[in-house]
Amino acid sequence: MANHNQQGKMVDMRNIALGIAEHDEKILVYQSRNPDTGLLFCRALGGGIEHGEHSRDALKREFMEELGAEIEILEFLGVIEDIFQWNGKTEHQISFNYRIRFTNPVFYEQRSFKVLDDSITAFWKPIADFQKGLKLYPTGILEQIIATSPDALVQKS
């Protein structure tokens, strides 16, 4: 069944796959600002799932496109449904979230990464910054990370 807005027009729901790469109590994210609210936020890397593509395959493809990096998927963290305002429109996303690791350890030695298919830079951000209030989207992903973290040093509050 198609989704329609109040005017009867069909609207898109976007399915994405996000990868949580962890290193030294940090996660790999990019930072942006919501154009409607001005709120500064971070998001893990990943992107859209194409029709007929499994979320795991989409995530591997996205990391290759974004960083030229091969990844190993370690664990499925969960699914989050997020509805938010962006550029004056209501957006609806379903994210499939995975804990990942880079197959090439050189990625853990770099501080930041130019994303190849966008004008953004990814960098390692302390998980503690998000626990102190910096926004990490989609809403609820921080809780997924903390609840399943293999790192005993991540404080579960």
For 11-45, the DSSP string reads ---EEEEEEEEEETTEEEEEEEE-TTT--EEEEEE
Condensed to tens digits (0 to 9), the pLDDT of residues 73-113 reads 999 999 999 988 888 888 899 999 999 999 999 999 999 99
Report the C-alpha gap between 35 and 52 in whole angstroms: 32
Helix count (H) and strand count (E) of the chain?
3, 8
Q: What domains are defined for the chain?
A: 14-148 (3.90.79.10)
Give pLDDT, residue 7. 58
> pLDDT truncated to tens, each residue of the chain (157 aa)?
344 445 555 568 899 999 999 999 999 999 998 888 888 999 999 999 999 999 999 999 999 999 999 999 999 999 999 988 888 888 899 999 999 999 999 999 999 999 988 888 999 999 999 999 999 999 999 999 999 876 534 554 4
